Structure 1
Amino acid sequence: MTVAWRAMLVVLLALNLRPILTSIGPLLEPMRISTGLGYQQAALLTALPVLCMGAVPLLHPWSRRWLSEHAGMLGGLAAIALACLWRLQLQSAWALVASAVLAGLGVAVVQGMMPGLVNRWFPGRLAGAMGLYSAALMSGGGLAAVLGPHLAEYSGQWQLGLGAWAAPAMLAMLAWLILRPRNIQSPVFKGNGGHWFGHRRAWLLAVYFGLINGGYTSMVAWLPAFYLEQGGSAQGGADLVGLMTLFQVLGALGLPLLLRRWVDRRPGLALALSIQLVGFMGLLMVPTAVPGLWVALIGFGLGACFSQSLTLTLEHLPTPAEAGGLAGFVQGIGFIITGCVPYIVGWLRALDGDFQSAWTVLTASVLTMLLVTIAFSPQSYAKALARPVPVDNVDALS
Structure 2
Amino acid sequence: MTTSTSSSSTRVPAWLWLSVVVLVTINLRPFLTAPGPLGHTIQQATGMDLRSFSWLTLLPMALMGIGGWLAPSALLRLGALTSICGSLLLIALGCALRMVPAGTATGSLLIATAGLCGAGVALVQGTMPGLIKRQSPHNVALMMGLYSAALMGGGALGAQISPLAMQWGLGWQPSLAIWAIPVLLALPLAWRALSLMHAKTPAMSATPHAPAASSGSDNSTGWLFRRRRTWLLLLSFGLMNGGYGSTVAWLAPFYQTHGWTATQSGSLLAILSIAQAASALAMPALAGRNVDRRLWMVLALLMQVIGFAGLALWPDAMPTLNAILLGMGLGGCFSLFMLVALDHLPSPTQAGALSSLMQGGGFILAALAPLIMAQLHELSGSWTSGWLYQATVAALVLVLVTRFNPKHYARVLAA
- Aligned equivalent of 2:124: 110
**Residue type matched to 1:258 in 2?**
L
Cα distance in 2 between the residues matched to 1:97 and 1:353: 25
**Residue type matched to 1:301 in 2?**
G
1:329 offset after TM fit, Å?
A: 0.5
CA contact (8 A) 2:56 2:114 kept: yes
- Aligned equivalent of 1:217: 245
Cα distance in 2 between the residues matched to 1:183 and 1:365: 41
1:191 offset after TM fit, Å?
A: 10
SS at match of 1:112: helix
Q: Structure 1 stretch 170-179 or stretch 325-334: which is displaced more? A: 170-179
**Residue type matched to 2:335 in 1?**
S
- Aligned equivalent of 2:261: 233
**Residue type matched to 1:155 in 2?**
G
**Residue type matched to 2:85 in 1?**
L
- Aligned equivalent of 2:9: none
CA contact (8 A) 2:130 2:353 kept: yes
- Aligned equivalent of 2:153: 139
Cα distance in 1 between the residues matched to 2:391 and 2:51: 22
CA contact (8 A) 2:75 2:83 kept: no
CA contact (8 A) 1:134 1:307 kept: yes
- Aligned equivalent of 1:263: 291
Cα distance in 2 between the residues matched to 1:62 and 1:4: 29
Cα distance in 2 between the residues matched to 1:275 and 1:38: 31
Q: Deviations over 1:279-330 (max 9, x none)?
A: 1121122111111111111100111001101100001001100101111100
1:271 offset after TM fit, Å?
A: 1.0
- Aligned equivalent of 1:10: 21
SS at match of 1:375: coil
1:181 offset after TM fit, Å?
A: 6.5
- Aligned equivalent of 2:413: 385
Pair 1:244 & 2:272 matched: yes
1:61 offset after TM fit, Å?
A: 4.4
1:50 offset after TM fit, Å?
A: 0.2
Unaligned ranges ≥5, structure 1: 388-398
- Aligned equivalent of 1:194: 221
1:136 offset after TM fit, Å?
A: 0.5
SS at match of 2:78: coil
- Please list, as runs of the form range in 1=range in 2, the aligned pairs for 1:1-398 lying within 5 A after superposition: 1-89=12-100, 91-180=105-194, 182=196, 187-188=201-202, 193-195=220-222, 196-387=224-415
Of all paired residues, the percent bearing the same amino acid is: 39
1:155 offset after TM fit, Å?
A: 3.4
Cα distance in 2 between the residues matched to 1:182 and 1:156: 40
- Aligned equivalent of 1:394: none
Q: TM-score, normalised by structure 1?
A: 0.94
SS at match of 1:213: helix
1:386 offset after TM fit, Å?
A: 1.6
Residues matched between the structures, number: 387
CA contact (8 A) 1:146 1:241 kept: yes
SS at match of 2:259: coil
Cα distance in 2 between the residues matched to 1:94 and 1:102: 13
SS at match of 2:168: helix
Q: Deviations over 1:115-136 (max 9, x none)?
A: 1111111111111100000000
Cα distance in 2 between the residues matched to 1:22 and 1:177: 26
Cα distance in 1 between the residues matched to 2:191 and 2:90: 16
